[in-house]
């Protein structure tokens, strides 16, 4: 879904508006609609894992058949430097290796600068959530990469997006908003973003 979305964004010629900042992919930079230098100041960090490190077992999917003891707990995330025009935030956890969205939370209030650990639990008060690509519910579900899929080590990207609006996502009880719905809703509304990466493998 995410790769197809990046192609869509490129087709809309948004990539010309901004170049990738440190720690950002070209797809993320393509979403940013404000090219001014002062808009590119966001930073994201976590006390649960260091950028570029191995993700802890506490974050791994608790029903993963390839590993035992997973906590399925979303990490603590803190950010700063959001543009003054920010109306809300979106947080996404995305497996870059498998093009798989593990978490999407939107309409996080503009005054919030941190999500505590396990903020991605079902029914979270921090913001609305979409169904992730597991299609088990509107919540965070952690890494569970099959050990037979190459490359073995998967790259998990956590991104916070500052938006110039709040979002109303189409959906119903039978067809709730999913990750693709969220990606499409971001078009034209991202003022800035920041990302960190963690890595995980279920191979012995």
Over residues 32-54, the pLDDT tens digits come to 665 455 556 899 999 999 999 99
DSSP code of residue 178:
B
Sign of CA dihedral 65, 77, 118, 103: negative
Least confident of 2-16, 56-70, 76-90, 100-114: 2-16
List residues bridging with 157 in a β-sheet: 94, 197
Let me know: does 114 contact 191? Beta carbons within 8 Å: no
Q: What was the pLDDT predicted at 32? A: 63
- In the structure, what pLDDT confidence band is assigned to residue 176 with cuts at 50, 70 and 90? confident
Q: What was the pLDDT predicted at 120? A: 98
pLDDT tens-digit series, residues 182-200: 999 999 999 999 999 999 9
Q: What was the pLDDT predicted at 148? A: 75
Phi, psi of 105, deg, nearest 5: -120, 135
Which residue in 36, 18, 37, 42 sits closest to 28, CA to CA? Answer: 18
Tell me the C-alpha to C-alpha distance, in Å, between residue 67 and each of 13, 43, 117, 161, 201. Answer: 42, 32, 21, 31, 10
CATH number of 34-200: 3.90.280.10
Mean pLDDT calculated for residue range 115-131? 97
Rg (CA), the chain: 16
Q: What was the pLDDT predicted at 21? A: 39
Instruction: Give the mean pLDDT of the chain.
Output: 84
- In the structure, what pLDDT confidence band is assigned to residue 85 with cuts at 50, 70 and 90? very high
**DSSP strands (E only) in the chain:** 43-45, 53-54, 77-80, 88-95, 100-109, 114-115, 128-129, 154-163, 190-200
C-beta neighbour count of 21 within 10 angstroms = 16
Q: Is the pLDDT of residue 26 over 50?
A: no
- In the structure, what pLDDT confidence band is assigned to residue 129 with cuts at 50, 70 and 90? very high
Surface-to-core class of residue 161, CB atoms within 10 Å of its CB (0-12 exposed, 13-18 middle, 19+ buried): buried
List residues bridging with 108 in a β-sheet: 89
pTM (2 d.p.): 0.82
pLDDT tens-digit series, residues 155-164: 999 999 999 9
């Amino acid at each position: 879904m995410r790769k197809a979305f990046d192609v869509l964004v490129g087709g809309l010629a948004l990539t010309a508006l901004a170049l990738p900042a440190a720690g950002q992919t070209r797809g993320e930079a393509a979403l940013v609609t404000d090219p001014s230098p002062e808009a590119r100041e966001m930073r994201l960090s976590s006390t649960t894992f260091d950028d570029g490190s191995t993700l802890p077992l506490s974050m791994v999917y608790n029903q993963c058949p390839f590993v035992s003891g997973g906590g399925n707990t979303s990490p603590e995330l803190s950010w700063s430097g959001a543009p003054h025009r920010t109306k809300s935030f979106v947080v996404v956890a995305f497996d870059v290796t498998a093009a798989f969205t593990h978490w999407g939370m939107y309409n996080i209030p503009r005054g919030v600068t941190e999500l505590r650990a396990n903020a991605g639990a079902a029914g979270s008060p921090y913001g609305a959530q979409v169904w992730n690509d597991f299609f088990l519910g509107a919540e965070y579900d952690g890494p569970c990469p099959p050990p037979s899929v190459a490359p073995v080590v998967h790259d998990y990207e956590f991104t916070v997006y500052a938006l110039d609006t709040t979002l109303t996502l189409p959906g119903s009880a039978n067809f709730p908003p999913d990750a693709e719905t969220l990606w499409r809703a971001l078009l034209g509304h991202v003022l800035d973003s920041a990302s960190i990466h963690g890595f995980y493998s279920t191979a012995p």
